[in-house]
Structure 1
């Protein structure tokens, strides 16, 4: 199981210098990938371009970019720009977005997310390959081409939790990215469903990138209480509530990877046993807690 690490907003407010420092530390410690999430601050792709151009070598990924507010022509241009700027190190993770946010913040429709994602990917794929598209579909219209010299098409992953989206991810993408999804659900639901879909489409075995907060600490109970406070909203959002219910837990605090060095190692081994190909470590806590966590998790790579 590869181990990557998140950078930027999910770990707290970050300046450009902070982003570069986080990526440089990850590269020096041997992390397999650095991942940037789209939240309410840094643009995920821009943050990778900023830091990735200054830190060579380490693979980069988005986990994830919501697509409702980015037309396929726009996203293809952004992704290929990052590819050209960073020497083609990008994995492009995309998602349908949290429905409540898509409708309330952007005034966009959030119904039929799997159907929208399927159509979106049928347009995005050719654009990433530099091909011209002329698509007038039920949900998307796109006409044009994107050409960025030196850019190769990135691998695309799809945030998928439910059966319909997992079929889309398995059939049309290189795998999935999950968030707040525990090992029981990964082993019994996520991995089997997306693997069946990929096999039926004649595609290679999919990547399964499992993102979870992590904190190496001697105060497990206290940290889990803080995670419950910070990520409590996820426990009430239908998309995440569904996988938490599958796991049989109350909230994000119960699936987070928390404990001392040996406890965290055991929890990561359980993810690997579940069929996870990539663990996305999202360090949680104070600067001191994150420092201990970053180095302890790196020791497991």
Structure 2
């Protein structure tokens, strides 16, 4: 198992030069990759392509693109474009999103998110592999091919919170991508389901990438509200709330600060000095996580991107990960 540590771009940039200091950090300070989530202000693949054109050719990951926004043909093309521009393999993660988002974009939610995800990942993989395709699915269909070009590979990821999606990731994905999942929940719930799905399909278990909300200690910082602010949108998602309840974090009748405290208690969020955060990262690796992505969005919202870079510089200087 690999034991990588990566960085999430902790804000949505409007221009690529705003993201450039984080690309430079990954390039020069030993982080494994730079990640983004789904963008709603600026399209995330284009930011990575622009960074590559600026000379910051580092491994990139998308965790995750929301399936209702793009056909699998466009998804495969966008991911391969980033790989070609950067010169590195890319992780292209996908997920169905919340039911409310599915209804807002499609008119109604997927009757079966698992079926939709299976069809989506199967079609993206077939397109990237090359050759003629004729897939007629309930949600996603395509007849044709994607012209092949010389480019590094694309790892196909699936967003995973609960056992059903984990088993599907084991069957179909190269990477299982989790957010806000405490290490004990990853070890005891998600990894067994991933292994079960992989064994049923006769393939290797996907590697696990976990995004971990992180706030380093500094004078004047109240870390619990900082962490809560950075993850407030996730705290409201029914699928996240269900996962957190399963993981032993009280969400019913709990405010956002209470949820953050529960995640700190279970190791699902990290706060403190470099040694404390380093120990938390090690706990994820010991639980079966191959790549921990430090998500400092709360610090960025309260103190700005420069504060995040200063924190990351200290964390990477003081930890061998």
TM-score, length basis structure 2:
0.86
Aligned counterparts of 2:136 and 2:205: Cα–Cα separation in 1: 31
1:252 offset after TM fit, Å?
4.3
After superposition, where does 1:231-250 map in structure 2 within 5 Å? 231-250=231-250
1:270 maps onto 2:270 in alignment = no
1:6 maps onto 2:13 in alignment = no
Aligned counterparts of 1:220 and 1:67: Cα–Cα separation in 2: 40
Aligned counterparts of 2:74 and 2:229: Cα–Cα separation in 1: 36
Instruction: Report the RMSD for the aligned CA atoms in angstroms.
Output: 2.1
Query: Structure 2: which 5+ runs fail to align?
Result: 251-258
The corresponding residue for 1:291 is 309
1:202 offset after TM fit, Å?
2.1
1:75 offset after TM fit, Å?
1.0
Q: Which moved more, 1:213-222 or 1:63-72?
A: 213-222
1:153 offset after TM fit, Å?
4.1
The corresponding residue for 1:201 is 201
Contact 1:36 1:47 in 2 (8 A): no
Contact 2:51 2:57 in 1 (8 A): no
1:57 offset after TM fit, Å?
4.8
Query: Structure 1: which 5+ runs fail to align?
Result: none
1:183 maps onto 2:183 in alignment = yes
Q: 1:106 to 1:220 in 2, by over 3 A?
A: farther
1:155 offset after TM fit, Å?
1.1
1:277 offset after TM fit, Å?
0.5
The one-character-per-residue Cα deviations of 1:268-288 (angstroms, maximum 9, x if unpaired) are 111111111000111231235
The one-character-per-residue Cα deviations of 1:250-275 (angstroms, maximum 9, x if unpaired) are 42452321111121111111111111
After superposition, where does 1:58-69 map in structure 2 within 5 Å? 58-69=58-69
1:165 maps onto 2:183 in alignment = no
Contact 1:244 1:252 in 2 (8 A): no
Corresponding pairs, count: 299
1:244 offset after TM fit, Å?
1.0
Aligned counterparts of 2:221 and 2:25: Cα–Cα separation in 1: 28
Q: Which moved more, 1:196-205 or 1:174-183?
A: 196-205
The corresponding residue for 1:133 is 133
The corresponding residue for 2:215 is 215
1:259 maps onto 2:259 in alignment = no
Aligned counterparts of 2:196 and 2:314: Cα–Cα separation in 1: 35
Aligned counterparts of 1:85 and 1:148: Cα–Cα separation in 2: 15
Q: Which moved more, 1:35-44 or 1:174-183?
A: 35-44
The one-character-per-residue Cα deviations of 1:175-194 (angstroms, maximum 9, x if unpaired) are 20001111121111112211
Q: Which moved more, 1:105-114 or 1:165-174?
A: 105-114
The corresponding residue for 1:109 is 109
The one-character-per-residue Cα deviations of 1:229-251 (angstroms, maximum 9, x if unpaired) are 34233223111112211222242
The corresponding residue for 1:174 is 174
Contact 1:209 1:280 in 2 (8 A): yes
Contact 1:80 1:148 in 2 (8 A): no
